[in-house]
Structure 1
């Protein structure tokens, strides 16, 4: 029961940060030590459903579905659902009324979370001076690409057509599965953040059904690719994730004017404390997870 309650709280955290532009649910899953297990379980779940629906092979489908960690997946899904539908309004209010404090808080959290993929990449296998240099190049190249992408001005979309809603769901769920990419920020960039958040707040069933259909399609494609990459190219995948997280910090800088980054203003003490508090929270979670599972990175999805 304690484990299921803890997984429900983990799901609530992941769902909560997915509502915040610039913060990735995949990053939180990494910090909490459940990312590998979630990807592996999602891969087995999707494979089992495909075998059942397309191939009509109940025996093979049953074996795939039995490999899903239901005790992890179901409580996490419940926690995410509750967070999305219960906490969307208060979180939206907090971000709107305290933009500098909220950005600083999330900046500290995401900055500290860089320790997670870096540590996992180091534990993924032996490294040489050349591989460490190549890894640094990969991290910086990915970070630079994300940094430039996030500098693009946001669009504004009113009354989006159905196909745009479905496509937004597909793109957003891909970002959910990849550490460092914020589904909310991608929606914000393409002008779909406000319509989607309003649909969640007002319980717009038609909008949410289209968005969910697109999300399901995106999940089927990205999870299987990600599971393969973590299994066959684990270190390179974790280095790319590090670059994604590093580049995403641009979106969380508290002092911005449109796409321009500004130096800190006079009122910097509050944002600094919020940043340090967010970093301390993530470091505490990371330390607790490392104590409970000393070699969490050694669990490779199959």
Structure 2
């Protein structure tokens, strides 16, 4: 959805922008796989932060459509793919059909970030929130600017979808947190919703879990290796992922420009969540600082030099990621 898609974006709205995945993996060189792995790491780093979506990074890095296309190819029709040749050849056909090499390498990159960066990012969120939120604020602002340039032929419908995306993201970010003890069916439902948010640019899956009151329960389950909760959450995430991505794949293939406007609106609306200057209900700074305030009302001062510098750094990095994504994006056929 970055520059390489501009040519595709000029097609009629009904023209498919997401193509079948057949033989995609055969075109991936070792260099392509390393590139995919690094982009997966960038997605994972974003997903760790409650309020920043890995889908946003996938979108700006030029792999979003391929990701949606690959996941959306997983379904009952895989049995028909297998039956064409059966045996090992049938399994290889399934592997190619779902672009499994791409998905595997991307997941490995995401997992690497979770394993290596989660502690560092959590430390920054707890001890230097102003700095990390300033960085991500600049990143998101630059992302919105880049994607707005990719929307061609603005009309009332696309403008309406963009505004709807903003309102929806702001509304979700402003909802009160649920604090009840979650049951297993509720955890299943939460996982399904969170994974949809995780793949949707602008809405953070980890923030949805926090919003639904299961974030701490899930972290505790992972730490204590509580298998019933872990498997229930995974089942919900897999269910939501397969259902949601098929719908999103259909929208991208038929209403590319309108869908892009909606997704860009989601990302723009997430700026409310990543606003750097936050305080708690008493106007002080602690782990519950979730209320946005004007920079000049921040308890320790706006710190313009540092905050603006980090915003610019975030904007520069996401612009560089966009340019790199343009050059390294695999062209689907």
> What TM-score comes out, normalization by structure 1 length?
0.84
Q: What is the CA–CA distance in structure 2 between the aligned matches of 1:95 and 1:42, rounded to whole Å?
A: 31
Q: What is the CA–CA distance in structure 2 between the aligned matches of 1:196 and 1:104, rounded to whole Å?
A: 28
Trace 1:55-66 onto structure 2 (pairs within 5 A): 58-59=83-84, 62=90, 63=93, 65-66=95-96
- The equivalent of 2:322 in structure 1 is 286
Q: What is the CA–CA distance in structure 2 between the aligned matches of 1:8 and 1:38, rounded to whole Å?
A: 13
Query: Which sections of structure 1, spanning at least 5 residues, go unmatched?
Result: none
- The equivalent of 1:208 in structure 2 is 230
Indicate the larger mover: 31-40 or 141-150. Answer: 141-150
Q: What is the CA–CA distance in structure 1 between the aligned matches of 2:170 and 2:218, rounded to whole Å?
A: 24
Give the length in aligned residue pairs: 285
Question: What is the deviation of 1:218?
Answer: 0.3
- Output the aligned Cα RMSD: 2.5
Q: What is the CA–CA distance in structure 1 between the aligned matches of 2:140 and 2:270, rounded to whole Å?
A: 9
Trace 1:6-25 onto structure 2 (pairs within 5 A): 6-25=35-54
Indicate the larger mover: 147-156 or 255-264. Answer: 255-264
Question: What is the deviation of 1:20?
Answer: 0.8
Matched, 1:36 2:65: yes
- The equivalent of 1:84 in structure 2 is 114
- The equivalent of 1:148 in structure 2 is 171
Matched, 1:104 2:104: no
Q: Residues 89, 139 of structure 1: CA spacing in aligned structure 2 closer, same or farther, 3 A cutoff?
A: same
Trace 1:267-278 onto structure 2 (pairs within 5 A): 267-269=302-304, 270-278=306-314
1:7-35 CA-partner distances (Å, limit 9, x unpaired): 11211211221111111111100111000
Contact 1:109 1:278 (8 Å CA) reproduced: yes
- The equivalent of 2:100 in structure 1 is 70
Q: What is the CA–CA distance in structure 1 between the aligned matches of 2:224 and 2:142, rounded to whole Å?
A: 34
Trace 1:230-269 onto structure 2 (pairs within 5 A): 230-257=252-279, 260-264=291-295, 265=298, 266-269=301-304
Q: What is the CA–CA distance in structure 2 between the aligned matches of 1:2 and 1:56, rounded to whole Å?
A: 29
The structure with the larger Rg is 2
- The equivalent of 2:199 in structure 1 is 177
Q: What is the CA–CA distance in structure 1 between the aligned matches of 2:163 and 2:78, rounded to whole Å?
A: 42
